[in-house]
Homo-oligomer: A and B are copies of this chain.
Amino acid sequence: MFEAPYLLFLGDAPDALAAKMAQGIYDWRPEAVAGQYRMEGCGADLKIKDLSIKEAVAAGAKTLVVGVVNRGGIISDSWMSILVEALEAGMDVASGLHTLLRDQPELVAAAEANGRTLHDVRIPTVKYPIATGKKRTGKRCLAVGTDCSVGKMYTTLAMDREMKKRGLKSTFRATGQTGILIEGNGVPLDAVIADFMAGSIEYLTPSNDADHWDFIEGQGSLFHASYSGVTMALVHGGQPDALVLCHEPTRKTMRGLPDYTLPSLEQLRDLALPIARVVNPDCKVVACSINTQHLSEDEALAYLAEVEAKLGVPAVDPFRQGAGRLVEALD
């Protein structure tokens, strides 16, 4: 989709959270990153080489990737001159922001004048088919969550990395902008037209070797009033053989929905499994992936043991413990 190496643009990110996207790219594809660009007053730091636009080009950077979000997902005026400078210096620009690069006349003009490309990864560039529900060869694992932002992407990236480390056949299948920026391709599912959602996921996870696993990045939650339709399409389009249930145990209410509490992992299993079995009768819940970042080590281990006893499948925090047991649960 777009070329490495990248210059990660952190802009004027007030803190590390605002540069989460850049951090994600660096964590999972360090080999693709040439360095970071931070504006004066930037409060985020990936602890990698700071490069000017000129230095980045000299270091071989091909694409400036906007790795920062701000309120409203807009492209602030203060960024504009730097992005234009990058285009003029010969880099492409990629972004997952809601505001599109292609809607900025200054950027369009600079890209045209310099023969460069603007990559808006949030917008589908493929005409996806209607889903057929046909059985494909190869295996698929999907992360489903009790809520949005509980670690579904992290879980599938960690499982994919662990599979590759073990010399097993595996692909991470990105369905959101950060995942796409990390993997270099994928389906921006939240921007796909309703009728083509499931078809876009069939397209993303085609037939493959019998012993190959796709690790499909989850989106939303079947229990999230705003985005459940997206999740549903992911389950039916992905036709998973294995589900990994993702949860953040200290979260009080659903993300963006203060009136809603989170379902339990049992409730998630009991809803997700019959839905998945509509398209794949052999689908199983193989493991739970728990984001224990807000628990102490002792609390985390106790909680994981509790979940494991209740659900009868391995419960793991891949960030603390690695994804080994998650991958072994696929057998």
Contacts and interface: CB of A to CB of B under 8 A. Distances in A.
Binding site secondary structure of chain A: helix
B259 A133 contact: yes
Contacts of A231: 229, 232
A257 B308 CA distance: 38
Interface string A244-267: 000000000010110110010000
A81 interface: no
A23 B204 CA distance: 40
A195 B236 CA distance: 17
A20 to B, nearest CB: 19
Interface string A271-283: 1001100110000
B194 A133 contact: no
A271 B275 contact: yes
A285 to B, nearest CB: 17
Given A133-B225, A195-B227, A197-B230, 13 more contacts: A131-B226, A132-B225, A132-B257, A134-B259, A190-B193, A190-B194, A198-B225, A198-B226, A225-B236, A226-B236, A228-B275, A232-B232, A271-B274
| Nearest 10 CB-CB pairings of A with B | A229-B233, A133-B225, A232-B232, A190-B195, A131-B226, A229-B232, A229-B229, A225-B236, A197-B229, A133-B257
Interface of A: 130-135, 189-195, 197-199, 222-223, 225-234, 236-237, 254, 256-257, 259-260, 263, 270-271, 274-275, 278-279
28 contacts: A131-B226, A132-B226, A133-B254, A133-B259, A133-B260, A134-B259, A135-B259, A190-B194, A191-B194, A191-B195, A192-B193, A192-B194, A193-B194, A194-B197, A194-B229, A194-B233, A195-B227, A197-B229, A198-B228, A198-B229, A199-B226, A225-B237, A225-B279, A226-B236, A228-B233, A229-B232, A263-B278, A270-B274
